[in-house]
Structure 1
Amino acid sequence: MFKYFLSLFLFISTFGLGQTLTSSLDKTTLALGEVAVFKIQILDLDGKDVQLAPRNELLPFHFEMVNDSIAKQKDIYLRSVKFAIFQEGKFTIPEIQVKVGNKILKTIPYEVEVINTAKKGDQINDIMKNKEVELNVQDYWDLYKFYVLLFLIVIAIIVLIIGIVKWGRKRKDSPAVTTNQTLKDLEKLRKKNYIENENFRSFYVELIEITRNFITKQYHIPADVLLTDDLIEYMKNTNAISQENEKIVEDIFLRGDLVKFAKTIPTKELMSKDFIEIRDFVKRSTKDIEAENLRNTNV
Structure 2
Amino acid sequence: MKKLKKIIFIKILLLFLLTLFNSCSNNNIEKETIILAKTKISSLDITIGDNIIYEVKIISKKEIDYKFEDISFDERASQTRIIEVENETKNIGNYKERIIKYRIGFYDIGRFVIFPFKIAYEYNNQYKELNGDDINILVNSFSDGEILPPLKSTLSIPMTKYFWIIILMSAIVLSAIIILILFIIKYLKKKFKEKAIIKEDEEALNDLKNIDYKIYFNENKFAEYYFELTFIFKRYLTKRFLFNIEDMTTSEINQLFDKKEFKKSDYIINMLKNSDYVKFAKQIPKIETMQKDYDFCKDYIIENGNLYNALKIEEKEKKIRLKKLKRLKRKKKDIIGIIKN
Whether TM-score is above 0.5 comes out as no
TM-score bin, normalised by smaller chain: 0.3 to 0.5
Structure whose CA Rg is larger: 1
